[in-house]
Amino acid sequence: VFVHREGKIHYQKYERGIPVADLKVIGETDQTGTITRFKPDPEIFQETTVYEFDTLATRMRELAFLNRNIKLTIEDKREHKQKKEFHYEGGIKSYVEHLNRSKQPIHEEPVYVEGSKDGIQVEVSLQYNEGYTNNIYSFTNNIHTYEGGTHEVGFKTALTRVINDYGRKNSI
């Protein structure tokens, strides 16, 4: 693991998830960020040590959307060398645009709202399109909650209430 922070490059090597040496400064830098090099250990990853590049790249893309302005790079140094970088300044708003790229949006710009209360931060972005189905992708702490959850139910309930109230007030 290489950490670029406060003008220094810090390095620490791990084996089987345990540090094998103390953290040490190995150079200077004007960059910030972390580089992790990973080679699967068959003693830890007993099911498989062969990973699909596209599966990992999809997850890296998703994380780059969820963490605005982060740059993630995945590089496969096996036989079929591949490298992809992901960086999205627009965060989840860019994610919505990506998800709707092959659809016909009803409004040009995705709606984006962020806020926090009682130490809980929330970001929401949405864009209606001419399709007949809805797709909701919810995440908690960067983990995709495929089956929804109370936060997703609460969001859908609040959104429906706001739209219905607006319609009633404006005789729509």
User: Looking at residue 27, what is its pLDDT?
Assistant: 96
Residue 100 belongs to a domain: no
Domain boundary among 87, 120, 142: 87
Judge if 26 and 72 occupy the same domain: yes
Judge if 77 and 139 occupy the same domain: no
* Number of domains into which the chain is organized: 2
Judge if 28 and 68 occupy the same domain: yes
| Spatial separation of the C-alpha atoms in residues 34 and 37, rounded to whole Å | 10
Q: State pLDDT tens for residues 92-129.
A: 999 999 999 999 999 999 999 999 999 999 999 999 99
| Spatial separation of the C-alpha atoms in residues 34 and 94, rounded to whole Å | 23
Judge if 21 and 82 occupy the same domain: yes
Judge if 76 and 35 occupy the same domain: yes
Residue 31 belongs to a domain: yes
Domain boundary among 87, 120, 147: 87
Residue 41 belongs to a domain: yes
Q: State pLDDT tens for residues 32-91.
A: 999 998 888 888 888 887 889 999 999 999 999 999 989 999 999 888 899 999 999 999
User: Looking at residue 91, what is its pLDDT?
Assistant: 96
Q: Which residues contact 119 (CB under 8 A, 6 or more apart)?
A: none
Model pTM score: 0.78
- Note down the domain range covering 114: 105-169
We report the CATH number of the domain holding residue 17 as: 3.30.565.10
Judge if 65 and 10 occupy the same domain: yes
> Which residue, among 43, 41, 74, has the nearest Cα to 57 in the 3D structure?
74
Helix (H, G, I), strand (E, B) or coil at 86: strand
